[in-house]
Amino acid sequence: MNETTNNELLTVAAVQMNSQQNIEDNLTTIKAAISDAGAQGAKLVVLPENCCSMGRQFATAERFDELSDAIAEYARTYGIHVLAGSLPCPYRPDGVIVPNDRLRQVSQLFAPDGSRVARYDKIHLFTATVADKQGSYNEAATFEPGTQTVVAPLAVDGVVYQLGMMVCFDLRFPALAQRLRQAGAELLSAPSAFTYLTGQAHWSLLLRARALDSQCMVIGAAQGGEHTYKDDNTRQTWGHAAISAYDGIIINSYDDSEVNKEAVDKEQKNYAIVLANLDKAAQAQGRQKLPIFDCHRLA
């Protein structure tokens, strides 16, 4: 593989949200976060998983096209690439309705002109028993897994970057990160909604590990805080949005589950933004110094 030696920097932003079930309120937050990140110089904004609604998946899926168009319009308005974390979708990439009363969990990349560059359907569906109020999680009861890996071109100021797309539980599977690198990825998006307990135990470690596996920057956008579900049940997510460099070093992070602390609270924001720069030349040099993909034998 020919590694790039271009010296251009790409400024990326990982957004932390506390999405509830009011879609309009969440869209207001998304728009504000995109505007804010763009004003701070970001060329790519990554939103968290379930950015438009935590819960109410089927009701949200009925608005998939409308919500996708809204986020695409925000990308166009602010002239920035936007990775729309994930949205539940009633149909597969070929337009066929998902059978058996299930959905797809879909991540989309929109260009600064509002066009959709790529769609990725989450491959690995969260299945776990956790010692929290929820107790057990079985995402496959609601969603059908995707089947295709996706690496999307990200054209910024005459330079093309290659973005490998993942969602949340995908972070548990090193083979996916490695396959995305083999397909040319230079950075990986990881919009997530980790439970509080699994995030506390593994979130930062997984971001760093997948960066080391792939020698790609990993952008961890996150849901954080308490989310209210029907019958006043609640779920807690870990938050702690963070971005890891190719060498497993966390470049920048928001070190809290709540998004209404410290400076965020002072500015009356209900989101947090984490910024970092991808240096193509430095990353390429790091890959050359430790050429693990020249040594890879098992895949």
Would you tell me the crossing angle of helices 64-78 and 23-39 to the nearest 10 degrees?
20
Q: Hunting for tokens 């359907």 — which residue is that?
A: 121
Q: Does the active-site annotation cover 49? A: yes
Q: 164 with 174: CB under 8 angstroms? A: no
Q: Does the active-site annotation cover 186? A: no
Handedness of CA 30, 53, 165, 174 (dihedral sign): positive
- Taking Cα atoms as reference points, which of 183, 51, 50 lies closest to residue 126? 50
Burial of 91 (0-12, 13-18, 19+ CB in 10 A): middle
The H or E element that residue 153 is part of is: strand 151-156
The whole-angstrom separation of Cα 281 and Cα 4 is 7
Give CA separation, 273 vs 16, 45, 133, 162, 195, in Å. Answer: 6, 9, 28, 22, 20
Query: Which of 49, 52, 186, 280 is an active site residue?
Result: 49
Q: Does the active-site annotation cover 73? A: no
Q: 209 with 4: CB under 8 angstroms? A: no
Query: Which of 43, 51, 89, 122 is an active site residue?
Result: 122
The pair of structure tokens assigned to 121 is: 């359907």
CB half-sphere exposure, 89, CA atoms < 13 A: 26
Spatial CB neighbours of 100, under 8 Å, sequence gap ≥ 6: 144
Query: Which of 51, 52, 89, 168 is an active site residue?
Result: 168
Instruction: Give me the active site residues, please.
Output: 49, 122, 168
